[in-house]
Amino acid sequence: MKRIFSGVQPTGNLHLGNYLGAIRNFVRLQDDYDCIFCVVDMHAITVWQDPVELQRNTREVTAAYLAAGIDPKRNIVFNQSQAPQHAELAWIFNCVARLGWLNRMTQFKEKAGKHRENASVGLYVYPNLMAADILAYRATHVPVGEDQKQHLELTRDIAQKFNHDFGVDYFPIVEPLIQGEATRIMSLRDGSKKMSKSDPSDMSRITMSDDAEAVAQKIRRAKTDPDALPGPEVLDDRGRVAAAAEAARPEAFNLLRIYAALADKSLAETLTEFEGSQFSHFKTVLTDLAVATLGPVGAEMKRLMADPGQVDAVLAEGAARARAIAEPILAEVQDIVGFLRPKP
Ligand code: TRP
């Protein structure tokens, strides 16, 4: 069976974008693939994290996985730091990847910003650790959003160079599984910005732990425009919103996409359904749907967060299964590289 690896960072404020763009898709993949879903705490500390918050956020991502419907018996659910093979392989990849490759990473440039000299070295080599995450299990497929495509390209380059440098055909060249149209969820206050955990306004995002009242309030106050909703004529022949139409009404299309994703409908169907409607009517329907779909997930997360023992047990069991896969792979890699180790 094909093997999937994916990860979510435990950095707090899990929101609708994480749910619709990543976690909900993971749930759907578990029938067709052998899946490993990781909480990447080692990636999180590339930017300083309060230790108590990091523990809490690690449990929260785990709770979100479970509440969304990922079955920890059929799949492996664990936190990255419990499998030391990630760090071991990352070191080897630090010696395979080239400075020039990392210098091209746009996410590092964005995250480091103007204070590049002050960024952690870990933030710089973050993509090498991500490659190690995936290849420590020789995973073949990785579901990621658009923003991670470049990192996945780097993973392919590292695998290729490793295979070439050592004259082996050991690591697979991974394939991205880019998810559908609903993955770009924008801020509720500004349709031109991505919904983000770090936006100072709580009203800009719906979080996975918001209760019904908070969800309703955020949708009611979400930014709109004065016009009635458009119909399917705004779509081009590939089913995408024409650029000019999108730029003129980013908030309207964001809310329509959120509706489509939650209702599991295409954008075309959604546009047909609400063509000519006022926002007041549309927001009422959207609120009901959001509360009905997100409410049970939030409630289950809350229950799990109140039972950290259960969450920690899932992580411990998942980590043992993860190590059992990664250990022999690392041993083979050590042989390939020429590291001496005792043979059984
Ligand atoms: N970098 C990813 C993100 O921020 C998280 C991640 C870490 C990941 N390791 C991974 C995703 C391996 C897919 C596969 O979203």
How confident is the model at residue 180, as a pLDDT?
60
- Contact at 8 Å (CB) between 188 and 223? yes
Give the pTM. 0.94
Active site residues: 111, 194, 197
Report the C-alpha gap between 237 and 235 in whole angstroms: 7
CA 148 to ligand 1 centroid distance, Å: 7
Report the C-alpha gap between 217 and 206 in whole angstroms: 10
Closest protein CA for atom 15 of ligand 1: 8
**Class of the domain covering 3-183+308-337:** alpha beta
- Contact at 8 Å (CB) between 282 and 274? yes
Complete DSSP assignment for 13-25:
--BHHHIIIIIHH
Pocket flag, ligand 1, residue 46 (CB < 6 Å): no
CA 142 to ligand 1 centroid distance, Å: 9
CA 8 to ligand 1 centroid distance, Å: 6
CA 216 to ligand 1 centroid distance, Å: 31
Torsion of CA 121, 124, 130, 131, to 10 degrees: -110
- Contact at 8 Å (CB) between 129 and 86? yes
Count the Cβ atoms, other than its own, within 10 Å of residue 147.
Answer: 14
Report the C-alpha gap between 162 and 160 in whole angstroms: 5
Pocket flag, ligand 1, residue 18 (CB < 6 Å): no
Domain boundaries, given as residue ranges, for the chain: 3-183+308-337, 202-304
* pLDDT over threshold 90, residue 145: no
How confident is the model at residue 52, as a pLDDT?
98
pLDDT tens per residue, range 7-31: 999 999 899 999 998 999 999 999 8
Pocket flag, ligand 1, residue 29 (CB < 6 Å): no
Pocket flag, ligand 1, residue 5 (CB < 6 Å): yes
pLDDT tens per residue, range 88-132: 999 999 999 999 999 999 999 999 999 899 999 999 999 999 999
Closest protein CA for atom 3 of ligand 1: 8
Top pLDDT among 343 and 39 is at: 39
pLDDT tens per residue, range 258-303: 999 999 999 999 999 999 999 999 999 999 999 999 999 999 999 9
Pocket flag, ligand 1, residue 144 (CB < 6 Å): yes
Pocket flag, ligand 1, residue 143 (CB < 6 Å): no
Count the Cβ atoms, other than its own, within 10 Å of residue 166.
Answer: 14
CA 93 to ligand 1 centroid distance, Å: 16
Percent of the chain with pLDDT over 90: 91
Q: What is the third-level CATH fold of 202-304? A: Tyrosyl-Transfer RNA Synthetase (1.10.240)
